């Protein structure tokens, strides 16, 4: 038997699984990581930008500077560490703290508490520089129309600053192919209608029943229309400097890139693909995927968007295939629209009809979450109440051992060939073509 300890909330959930039934333990690739501390890597990136002048060559002491950072759902990307280098650098140039503004690019996510702001940016920076949340429903400014006719509305306050800098991290993303960089503009500081229009490209153009747009998927980047429009929106806003990290299995910044948004993002994407893009030889009967603990497993919305989407690519296209997802979800569902979809609809057709007609990201997440459970067996190990899923085909279990026993019963397979994914919130797996 092989023993595993999955991160779960602030703790762990342990289980054992027969060695002979494990196809592979899918982990981040063991690639060579540069020596040095996180601070040294961040400093190196900022001092040697890709495709732009150095900060001291582009920013004047009298400039106002707006810094876009993630919200708590991306706090794992270590923005506080990046800011601990960036803000003193701006101060050394002569920019005053009162001429800086940090905006948490929450998109349509919830507003945050002062305590959460302090966690995101670091207590020292929080005490010196003003931090606010973006509001997708107020204080918006039109900046242009995208190639597909989407009106791009963004935070008016951000647009009033002389220089705009993005601080974040790059990881696989179910809509944009990869997160980070331009996503801090759209959806990060965009208006609600702009965001929903952009994200609605998840669906194929063939109408109800045609399913997902094949260009919109984790790891699909260069020709992904969602990402292309995000870059265009960021161009309208005028991002002057981008800083993005690539997080390793140790939950620290292993690589860091800065400078031109396109070039620094492309460099991070390349490392992401090497680090977290896993290719396997054959699909499995079952996958056991980990949400990687708090804050990555903060809610059901993030669980569906990350570990579920990152692991579905290695499952057999078989109604008796099984996906077990281990994710605490301490803050519940995470989206009122996702919650409503779970409660108000009891079949896949009606869910798709409603989501296409009334698109929101929360509805989209609920759609594919429940659709997965229509296509194969889904078992969720979490703190969520079982009653939440009574109108869906999603199964629940109190721990991984119970989930494995249920999986064998549902599939009729006592020895399912299985992939174990301890890093499923980051690592995106697919079968070799």
Q: Going from the N-terminus, what domains does the chain have, and what CATH number goes with each? A: 2-28+281-431 (3.90.226.30), 38-275 (3.40.50.11440)
Q: What is the C-alpha separation between 104 and 276, in angstroms, rounded?
A: 26
pLDDT at position 348 is 87
Which pTM value belongs to this model?
0.85
Q: Are 341 and 362 in contact (CB under 8 A)?
A: yes
> What are the 10-residue block averages of pLDDT along the chain, 433 residues in total?
97 98 93 92 98 98 98 90 98 98 94 96 97 98 98 98 97 92 97 95 88 90 95 98 93 95 97 91 98 94 92 96 98 94 93 91 92 96 97 98 98 98 93 87
Q: How far is CA 215 from the centre of its chain?
A: 18
Q: What is the C-alpha separation between 121 and 102, in angstroms, rounded?
A: 9
Cis-peptide, bond into residue 187, ω within 30° of zero: yes
pLDDT at position 231 is 98
Q: What is the C-alpha separation between 92 and 22, in angstroms, rounded?
A: 54
CA distances from 166 to 82, 150, 245, 264, 410 (A): 10, 23, 11, 11, 47
Closest CA to 376 of 317, 425, 335: 317
Q: Are 126 and 92 in contact (CB under 8 A)?
A: no
Buried b or exposed e, range 308-342, using 16+ CB within 10 angstroms: bbbbbbbbbeeeebbbbbbbbbbbbbbbebbbbbb
Q: What is the C-alpha separation between 67 and 232, in angstroms, rounded?
A: 19
pLDDT at position 298 is 94
pLDDT at position 208 is 87
Kindly report, residue by residue over 359-410, the tens digit of the pLDDT.
Answer: 888 999 999 999 999 999 999 999 999 999 999 999 999 999 999 999 999 9
Contact residues for 216 (Cβ-Cβ < 8 A; gap 6+): 175, 177, 201, 202, 224, 225, 226
Q: How many CB atoms lie within 10 A of CB 375?
A: 17
Residue with tokens 């499923």: 424
pLDDT at position 372 is 95
Contact residues for 338 (Cβ-Cβ < 8 A; gap 6+): 300, 301, 304, 362, 363, 365, 366, 369
Q: Are 180 and 137 in contact (CB under 8 A)?
A: no
Q: What are phi and psi of 97, to 5 degrees?
A: -55, -40
pLDDT at position 206 is 85
pLDDT at position 75 is 85
Which 8-state DSSP code applies to residue 201? G
pLDDT at position 248 is 87
For 352, the enclosing helix (H) or strand (E) is helix 348-357
Q: Are 411 and 286 in contact (CB under 8 A)?
A: yes
């Amino acid at each position: 038997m092989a023993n595993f300890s999955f991160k779960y909330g602030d703790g762990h959930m342990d289980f054992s699984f027969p060695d002979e039934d494990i196809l592979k333990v899918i982990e981040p690739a063991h690639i060579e990581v540069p020596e040095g501390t996180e601070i040294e890597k961040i400093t190196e990136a900022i001092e040697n930008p890709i495709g732009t002048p150095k900060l001291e060559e582009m920013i004047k002491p009298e400039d106002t500077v707006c810094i876009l950072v993630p919200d708590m759902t991306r706090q794992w990307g270590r923005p506080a560490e990046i800011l601990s280098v960036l803000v003193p650098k701006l101060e050394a140039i002569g920019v005053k703290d009162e001429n800086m503004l940090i905006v948490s690019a929450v998109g349509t996510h919830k507003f945050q508490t002062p305590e959460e702001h302090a966690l995101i940016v670091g207590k020292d920076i929080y005490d010196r520089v003003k931090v606010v949340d973006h509001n997708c429903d107020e204080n918006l400014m039109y900046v242009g129309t995208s190639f597909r006719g989407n009106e791009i509305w963004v935070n008016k306050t951000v647009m009033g600053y002389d220089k705009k800098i993005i601080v974040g991290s790059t990881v696989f993303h179910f809509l944009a192919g990869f997160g980070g960089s331009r996503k801090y503009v759209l959806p990060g500081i965009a208006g609600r209608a702009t965001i929903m229009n952009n994200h609605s490209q998840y669906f194929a153009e063939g109408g109800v029943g045609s399913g997902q747009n094949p260009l919109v998927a984790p790891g699909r980047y260069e020709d992904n229309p969602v990402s292309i429009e995000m870059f265009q929106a960021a161009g309208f806003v005028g991002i002057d400097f981008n800083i993005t990290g690539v997080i390793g299995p140790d939950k620290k910044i292993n690589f860091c890139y800065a400078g031109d948004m396109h070039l620094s993002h492309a460099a991070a994407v390349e490392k992401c693909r090497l680090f977290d893009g896993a290719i396997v030889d054959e699909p499995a009967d079952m996958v056991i995927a980990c949400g990687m603990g708090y804050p990555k497993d903060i809610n059901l919305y993030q669980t569906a968007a990350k570990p579920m989407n990152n692991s579905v690519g290695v499952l057999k296209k078989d109604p008796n295939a099984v996906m077990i997802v281990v994710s605490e979800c301490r803050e519940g569902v995470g989206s009122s629209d996702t919650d409503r979809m779970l409660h108000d609809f009891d079949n896949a057709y009606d869910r798709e009809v409603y989501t296409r007609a009334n698109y929101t990201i929360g509805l989209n997440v609920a759609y594919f979450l429940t659709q997965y459970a229509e296509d194969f067996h889904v078992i969720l190990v979490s703190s969520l109440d079982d009653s939440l899923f009574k109108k869906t085909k999603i199964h629940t279990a109190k721990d991984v051992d119970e989930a494995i026993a249920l999986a064998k019963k549902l599939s009729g397979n006592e020895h399912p060939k299985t992939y174990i994914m301890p890093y499923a919130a980051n690592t995106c797996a697919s079968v070799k073509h």
